[in-house]
Amino acid sequence: MKKVFVAVLAGAGIVGVAAVASAESSSRYDGRWTVSMTTASGACDRSYSYALAVENGRVQPLPKPGESAPRMTGQVAANGAVALSISSGLASGNAAGRLRASAGSGTWQVPIAGCTGTWVAQKSGTTQTAQR
């Protein structure tokens, strides 16, 4: 099930598509984020940890060397609202929540596996750091 969660938050845990924010208003969330996920129900591992980058309100996975990045759509809105749809292979999921200046939290789900849970995020660097 680990691949399923690469698909969920890589996988910001972060349902649907958020309102599109302008680059200027969403830039305060730009940077590298470390996301920790906890499973509340379903046939998934108990916890997961991922790195993500936010740039101009767009969320991108930062996979570890040798891992493939999941497909991800969604945004961080100007008010910090996060909504992502993520897929990898046959698995797909979504996440929603809110970022603040240096932390955030929300919920996630992977319907095909019956999994739900929560996520927390900590900002861990700048956009330039995120590219490394």
pTM of the predicted structure, to 2 decimals: 0.76
What distance lies between CA 32 and its chain's CA centroid? 11
Burial (CB count within 10 angstroms: exposed 0-12, middle 13-18, buried 19+), residue 67: middle
**Per residue in 31-74, pLDDT tens?**
999 999 999 999 888 998 889 999 999 999 998 899 888 888 88
* Paired residues of 51 in beta bridges: 34
CATH top class, domain 2-126: mainly beta
E strand map for 27-102? 31-41, 47-55, 58-61, 71-76, 81-88, 91-99
- Candidates 20, 107, 121; CA nearest to 62 is 121
Mean per-residue pLDDT over the chain, rounded: 80
